[in-house]
A and B are shown apart, each in its own frame.
Chain A
Amino acid sequence: MWELLICFMATVAFAIIFNTPFRLLGRIGMIGVLAWTVYSFIQDINVSFIAAAALAAFSASLMSYGLSRRHRVPVTTFAIPGIIPLVPGGKAYETMLAFVDENYIEGLTQGVATMLHAGAIAGGVVFALSIFSIGRGIDQRYET
């Protein structure tokens, strides 16, 4: 519970840094909480962090698309702060530290893990995007 409150605070803080409209701050925080809940729950049942990141990003951006339809704002307003709790900051830092220590094997390992984590988040976001553009015809580009 404490962790979810912290996660809400982090997401809302990022929403303020990115200067999103005031009336949407609460909903953006809820998206961050959803992403974090999915992410930690899937890791708790012993699934790898890559699948967890992909599923969390997918659910967060699905909710972002739904909310952006309802409030008639661009979807980036919700999606960018919403997936911020998933950002692999820790892994990126470990990579950098290993390279500074001239520990190149460890650095490469952590670097590949970071890339996979970021790629999983991107995959989740794009998958939600393509679900929302089903049925718009082949010529249509992605919407919302």
Chain B
Amino acid sequence: MAEKGRLVDLCLFAGKLMVTYGAETYRAEDIMNRMAVAGGLKNVHSFVTTTGIFLSGIQDNGDNLMQMIRIVDRFQDLNKVAEVNQLSRDFVLGRINEQEANEQLIKISAARMNYPLWLIYIASGVAGGAFSYLVGNTKFDMIPAAMGGLMSTLFLVLFQHYLHAKFFSEYLASFFGSIIALALLHSGYGSNVDQVIIGTIIPLVPGIPLTNSVRDLMNGDFISGLGRGAEAALTALSIAAGVATAVSLFLP
């Protein structure tokens, strides 16, 4: 019981990391199945949703094993997904044993983002400026758009840290980002409101939930697909509400 129980724990840990940091449902199910079969379980079934993971199997002596794990937070970190994917490959091919896999998983889950925070702020500024150019073709609007994109990500990280309320902090981030962009517009930088606002809110767009939702739905994983779709739609609504508040308050 004990050793296969540890194997199930390992698989659930890997699956939890995958779903938490933005992998698709079928990939999490696939690596959990493969790892459990490689570890010696029989009749393995896994069921992954956006908010919880189930894994069941039969041991050599005929006993059933079934565990679940709850997923509370979801972030965006594709590097961790790639690393867990590589680790499951190594484990299935027998390059590392259970103990080493567990240690590596702990290391992966505790690892920091592989870019410093200031680089992410600058990247969202660059993304905002570049996107406003792609939408509207005027170089002059890139400055306030970049500034707004930078500030909205800055506010998002700040509010997430202090409020722990995902959708409300997205609302506040897009609200304050738009206010700063509009203030820059009013003081003479930039000419076109639409492009500046688009550049401001584009770093907040829920790219990973949106893409994964479509892929899950097309794959037949309807529960997790709808869950991620709802997450993406709520995020988009929060952003739109924030911009709408700012625009209706400060745009005559």
Contact = CB atoms under 8 A, between A and B. Distances in A.
Interface of A: 3, 6-7, 9-10, 12-14, 16-22, 36, 72-74, 76-77, 79-81, 83-85, 87, 89-90, 92-94, 96-97, 99-100, 118, 122, 125-126, 129, 141-142
Contacts of A94: 194
Interface stretch (B94-102, B183-191, B203-211): B203-211
A21 B79 contact: yes
Given A13-B126, A21-B82, A89 B211 contact: no
A77 B134 contact: no
Nearest to B29: A141
Contact of A14 (B27, B127, B136, B240): B127
B73 to A, nearest CB: 15
A74 B27 contact: yes
Given A18-B78, A93-B197, A83 B134 contact: no
B79 A142 contact: no
Interface stretch (B36-44, B52-60, B62-70, B213-221): B213-221
A33 to B, nearest CB: 11
Interface residues of B, number: 55
A49 B205 CA distance: 21
Interface in B153-206: 153, 194, 197-198, 201-203, 205
A96 B78 contact: no
Nearest to B113: A19
Contacts of A6: 130, 133-134
A92 B240 contact: yes
Contacts of A20: 78-79, 82
Contact of A17 (B26, B137, B203): B203
A15 B85 CA distance: 18
Nearest to A81: B207
Given A6-B130, A18-B208, A73 B201 contact: no
A64 B246 CA distance: 38
A11 B240 CA distance: 23
A80 B215 CA distance: 11
B167 to A, nearest CB: 16
SS class, residues of chain A in contact with chain B: helix
B123 interface: yes
B240 to A, nearest CB: 4
Contacts of B119: 16
B22 interface: yes
B61 interface: no
30 contacts: A6-B130, A10-B126, A10-B131, A13-B126, A13-B130, A14-B127, A14-B203, A16-B115, A18-B22, A18-B77, A19-B79, A20-B79, A22-B115, A72-B86, A73-B82, A76-B24, A76-B211, A80-B211, A81-B207, A89-B201, A89-B205, A90-B194, A90-B198, A92-B236, A93-B197, A93-B243, A100-B248, A125-B211, A129-B215, A141-B26
A122 B229 CA distance: 13
Nearest to A122: B214
B247 interface: yes
Contacts of A80: 78, 207-208, 211
B194 A76 contact: no
Contacts of A19: 76-80, 113-115
Contacts of B71: none
